[in-house]
Amino acid sequence: MGKIFVAKLYKNKKNYENKHLTVCGWIKFLRNSKKIGFISLDDGTYIKPLQVIFLNSLKNFQDISNLNIGSAVCVYGKFILTPNAKQPFEIKAEKINIIGKTPSDYILQKKKHSMEFLRTIIHLRPRTFTFAAINRIRSRAAFALQKFLQDNDFFYIHSPIITTNDCEGAGETFTVTTMNLSNPPKTNTGIIDYEKDFFLKHTMLTVSGQLQAECMASALSRVYTFGPTFRAENSNTQRHAAEFWMLEPEIAFSDLSDTINISSSLIKSAIDYVLKTSISDFEFLSETYDKNLINKLENTVKNEFEIISYTEAVNILIKSKVKFEYEIKWGNDLQTEHERYLTEKIFKKPIFVVDYPKNIKAFYMRENKDNKTVAATDMLFPGIGEILGGSQREERLDVLKDRMQKFKLKEEKYQWYLDLRRYGTMKHSGFGLGFERFIMYLTSMTNIRDVLPFPRTVKNADF
């Protein structure tokens, strides 16, 4: 047999019983006596390492015994089931090739490091059990979300990363330019002249692929875009990153209730898939960080999400008489503390809040008949707060133009977006799932910096 991954051995050990095979990986732990040695070999494919036994009959026995934690080796030997031992199987080495040595001052020794410390070595932390597990779950979750969408007739489209619009209108964009910043060209009135820039106009990193997804949904019916999005938000919190991934489905011929149904089915199906495919990682995270993790996820799959209106939410919060840091009154946006109170103290499960005041939401959201609210929803999760934001889009040309005026958006810049309402306009809706916030929920990590392999947050970007 050729090279086998450790995960395969755990998945189907009977298949490999008494076979000769090769496993390559890094030494997690090594101990030896004069005659015999043991290696815990980790190739990152599974939460548990593979036990390797090596005897002094190997001609490089002494060299192997001298290896430090972190060294890379390839082991060839016989795979044996060990039903009476602590580990279910082991490999009896007949040959061990030393591929890459590690000196003894290697930082990741067999001891627990704090999450704060590990954030200072983000290039090495994927080698720890915790971060390997998080990144495996991240990969499977990205797949599971897309599997659900593909199974439900959504096409994966790619919205651009460089854009000319600030979709959410929050003014939190990163400018993309090739101009000489120490001496940029200026107009007669002294402001920076982007007409002399690379694209002959001001361009930014996208905050959301939604508007482009709307163009594509107006042609292909059901689409999603999934990619990095960027926000120059100056909020140094546990749940804000400057670069994060967003999954944005856009659904033609649909209204807000379709968005609610599809997004809750999507979340449930993805959690269910990841639980099934990564149960050993969840068991590890549950033992190490949150005893209730698996139970929490199973309940999320099983139970209906609650739906309440923004107005009801505000009333509940006022009635609670809790002293919140941010004032709670109709017309103000809900803050994380409010969102968490609703999900953790009142409903004890994920909820959708619908019909927000029109003045605190983006220009593209559809106005409700009450003239005060828009058909918007935020999905709120216990422990996190907002995880997803969506809405029915304003499909009526005149109402949309009106709203754009109120938001002081220049109509001439949005002719392409208005064309969607001019030619074959239809009811449509969509949403954006904050992928990292979803991974935080899946892993019970409390800091977004720990679910992004290379986090970019305010005042911090490494590599």
Binder of ligand 4AD out of 395, 436, 441, 455 (CB under 6 A): 436
* Minimum distance of ligand 4AD from residue 429's CB (angstroms): 8
Binder of Mg ion out of 44, 389, 430, 455 (CB under 5 A): 389
Residue 388 binding result from Mg ion, ligand 4AD, none, given CB thresholds of 5 to 8 Å by partner type: ligand 4AD
Spatial distance between the Cα atoms of 165 and 168, rounded to a whole number of angstroms: 9
330 contacts 370 by C-beta, under 8 angstroms: no
* Minimum distance of Mg ion from residue 390's CB (angstroms): 9
Asked if 431 interacts with ligand 4AD (CB under 6 A), we say yes
CA 243, distance to chain mean position in Å, is 11
> Directed axis angle between helix 435-443 and helix 129-151, to 10°?
120
44 contacts 132 by C-beta, under 8 angstroms: yes
* Residue 389 vs residues 217, 248, 293, 351, 362: alpha-carbon distances, Å: 18, 10, 24, 12, 11
Asked if 214 interacts with ligand 4AD (CB under 6 A), we say no
> How many residues of this chain interact with ligand 4AD, rule: CB under 6 A?
23
CA 81, distance to chain mean position in Å, is 37
* Residue 243 vs residues 172, 452, 456: alpha-carbon distances, Å: 12, 9, 6
* Minimum distance of ligand 4AD from residue 335's CB (angstroms): 14
Asked if 387 interacts with ligand 4AD (CB under 6 A), we say yes
CB nearer to ligand 4AD: pick between 38 and 155: 155
Asked if 262 interacts with ligand 4AD (CB under 6 A), we say no
* Minimum distance of ligand 4AD from residue 131's CB (angstroms): 19
Q: For residue 157, give the DSSP letter.
A: E
* Per-residue binder mask for ligand 4AD (CB under 6 A), 218-237, x = binder: -------------x-x----
Binder of ligand 4AD out of 44, 49, 77, 432 (CB under 6 A): 432
Binder of ligand 4AD out of 165, 210, 263, 278 (CB under 6 A): 210
316 contacts 324 by C-beta, under 8 angstroms: no
CA dihedral (317, 319, 321, 323) in degrees, to 10, reads 20
Residues that bind ligand 4AD (CB under 6 A): 167-168, 208, 210, 231, 233, 240-241, 244, 246, 248, 386-391, 430-432, 434, 436-437
Residues that bind Mg ion (CB under 5 A): 389
